[in-house]
Structure 1
Amino acid sequence: MAQMSMIEAIRSAMDVMLGRDENVVVFGEDVGYFGGVFRCTAGLQEKYGPTRVFDSPINESGIVGAGIGMAAYGLRPCVEVQFADYIYPAYDQIVSEAARLRYRSAGQFTASMTIRSPCGGGIFGGQTHSQSPEALFTHVSGLKTIVPSTPYDAKGLLISAIEDDDPVVFLEPKRLYNGPFDGHPDRPAQSWAGHPQGDVPEDHYTVPIGKARLVRDGFDATIVTYGTMCFVAEAAVSETGIDAEIIDLRTLLPLDIDTIANSVRKTGRCMILHEATRTSGFGAELSAQIQEECFYNLEAPIVRVTGWDTPYPHAQEWQYFPGPERVGRELTNLMEAAS
């Protein structure tokens, strides 16, 4: 075990896979010589050379398109889109080509590629550097969508993603990159303290794709969340004293509905918490599936706590995020609600 931040854990995952499999290549904007805008690939080009870790033009569609072609012919590209906000030019390549390649070729080709991208807020980046577009990918058959919340999970899930024979969208909450984060949006310095955040094995290991993590056992209510909001949920539970169970999805697609449903059947109350906007956010799909599985166990309506339905507010970033105060207030209301 070594103490690693999420950035270090992600870098370690790529390091392990580059050393383990000669078919793994890493590329994207500024990921080679410079080591990435967040330094996730720092030192990898020097270690493995410019044919394994290299820079690309500023062309997200080209980055993903090239990765699909490489994957179809046997490589395992791990490509970086510098910010999730820039992934939209590549959306057609991801949806129309990568996600459908196995089916369209009757299994002759697979898009064994991983698309990494920092997501969410935490750097006062406004609406062009702080979006959370995960719901756009969970609608697409043939894709897997991952959002880790801890360094241990980040490394294990990234290795699983690179080893997977199908395309994986791997979204990294940048507010957790250099942790620790105590869940309070009014204390942003906590998320950029530069201190190690968790114990991570230095060698190869995997975390299974499609399996949620129980963050906290509880009996009063279930909070279903992922990414940065796991820490917000923990802070809200601590400050309200409500004995809520917290589930970190880790993987949005495939979804571990069994773990969610078992928890909601036990507690009878459910809150869904995410940073992205409310309307058509992933929480809507979660709410529908939980209602289908647990309708007769629910003692109150399912509650969603999310970002605002607005363009991302640059000057009001820390008000936009659901924080412990807002989550705690809604959790208290949930406990008081009647079915």
Structure 2
Amino acid sequence: MSWLSYPKALNRALADALAEDETVCVLGEDVGAGMAGVTLGLRDRFGAGRIVDTPLSEQAFTSMGVGAALAGMRPVIELQIPSLLFLAFEQIANQAHKFSLMTGGQARVPLTVVVPGSGSRLGWAGQHSDQPYSLFAHVGVKTVVPATPSDAYGLLATAIRDDDPVLLFAPAGALPVREDVVAPLVPIPLGSARIHRPGTEVTVLAIGHLVHEALAVAEELAGEVDIEVLDPRTLHPFDWEALGDSLERTGRLVVLDDANRSCGFAAEVLATASEEFRLVAPPRRVTRPDGAVLPFAPELDRALQPSREQLRTAVRGVLKGGWAW
């Protein structure tokens, strides 16, 4: 048994991949110093030729990673702030993602992008707190959001082995999470959801660090409602079968998502669930408000984030609600 932190899990997955495969390398800002904890100690172990500190030009080192992947390497890029993905969106979504499709599989781009500290980090203000995973799921890039250390290890291990680009969002709210690991850490297939808590009355699908908020609310309301907590782990490809099975048991759905409401991932889950699965009440979502830009003031920042109180209200709402027709 070992006590594993979320950043250490990512660090271990990188170290194992680097040790197993000499084509794996790491590029990014401050990766030599391991500022985010993900690459700590790796340059000393594997050398500056494979753990490469880059200038602060996201377009440049992302393009370098795409080129390295096309040339037969398996690069891992670290972007310390999620908003920097807006700068590199063209390289990831329009280049890395499409090379294989446009060449009929003749070219492969095994590029992994890791974003430690994505989403809400109290007081980090508007340009450091975005959660843009919906953009990448929308264009079809493989996108994962682990909630626990063991899932962080397993999904990163799989991402590095994948022949297509994969983005891994490591939510700021999950970084403090620690976990007792009693078995060897293993790769986890993309597109495989996880039930953290079985239930019979309401399915709460929670993304990333909000899984832990959903579990807390499920325990608080245990005497009132039996909540199933479902963690998709992968947003694209999404495990629709797992969601369908859960809704067969519960018939009610609440989605908890630390992203903006309009065109967010929660909206896609609600739409597909309404079209494809058995629901006995209209589904609900708990998200940031439309067009939210998180302010610097901690009180205002907290007010815009999805809360346990909002989740409790949504759960009670689907219990009481029914279709109007």
Displacement of 1:252:
0.2
Structure 2: which amino acid aligns with 1:174?
A
Q: How does 1:284-299 map to 2 (within 5 A)?
A: 284-294=267-277, 297-299=278-280
TM-score, structure 1 as length reference: 0.91
CA distance in 1, matches of 2:180, 2:254: 27
In structure 2, the partner of 1:317 is 301
Superposition misfits of 4+ residues, deviation over 6 angstroms: none
Tell me if the contact between 2:207 and 2:258 (Cα under 8 Å) persists in the aligned partners. no
Instruction: Find out whether 1:132 has 2:140 as its counterpart.
Output: no
Instruction: Find out whether 1:3 has 2:7 as its counterpart.
Output: no
In structure 2, which of residues 159, 162, 178 is the aligned counterpart of residue 161 of structure 1? 159
Displacement of 1:235:
1.4
In structure 2, the partner of 1:275 is 258
In structure 1, the partner of 2:213 is 232
In structure 2, the partner of 1:198 is 180
Tell me if the contact between 1:152 and 1:200 (Cα under 8 Å) persists in the aligned partners. no
CA distance in 1, matches of 2:320, 2:194: 27
Q: Identity over aligned residues, as a percent? A: 35
In structure 2, the partner of 1:98 is 96
Q: Secondary structure at the match of 2:89?
A: helix
Q: How does 1:45-60 map to 2 (within 5 A)?
A: 45-60=43-58
CA distance in 2, matches of 1:86, 1:258: 33
Structure 2: which amino acid aligns with 1:11?
N
Displacement of 1:200:
6.7
In structure 2, the partner of 1:219 is 200
Structure 2: which amino acid aligns with 1:177?
L
Displacement of 1:318:
1.7
CA distance in 2, matches of 1:197, 1:60: 32
Tell me if the contact between 1:223 and 1:272 (Cα under 8 Å) persists in the aligned partners. yes
Structure 1: which amino acid aligns with 2:285?
R
In structure 1, the partner of 2:288 is 307
In structure 2, the partner of 1:74 is 72
Unmatched runs of 5 consecutive residues or more in structure 1: 180-195
Count of residue pairs brought into register by the alignment: 317
Q: Secondary structure at the match of 2:160?
A: helix
CA distance in 1, matches of 2:49, 2:113: 19
Unmatched runs of 5 consecutive residues or more in structure 2: none
TM-score, structure 2 as length reference: 0.94
In structure 2, which of residues 249, 253, 256 is the aligned counterpart of residue 266 of structure 1? 249
CA distance in 2, matches of 1:82, 1:283: 25
Q: How does 1:14-53 map to 2 (within 5 A)?
A: 14-32=14-32, 34-36=33-35, 38-53=36-51
In structure 2, the partner of 1:192 is none
Displacement of 1:317:
1.8
Cα displacement string for residues 98-139 of structure 1 (whole angstroms, at most 9, x for unaligned residues): 100101222221110100113111342111111110110011
Instruction: Find out whether 1:328 has 2:309 as its counterpart.
Output: no
Q: Secondary structure at the match of 1:149?
A: coil
Give the root-mean-square deviation of aligned CA atoms: 1.3
CA distance in 1, matches of 2:160, 2:250: 36
CA distance in 2, matches of 1:244, 1:164: 34
Displacement of 1:314:
2.4
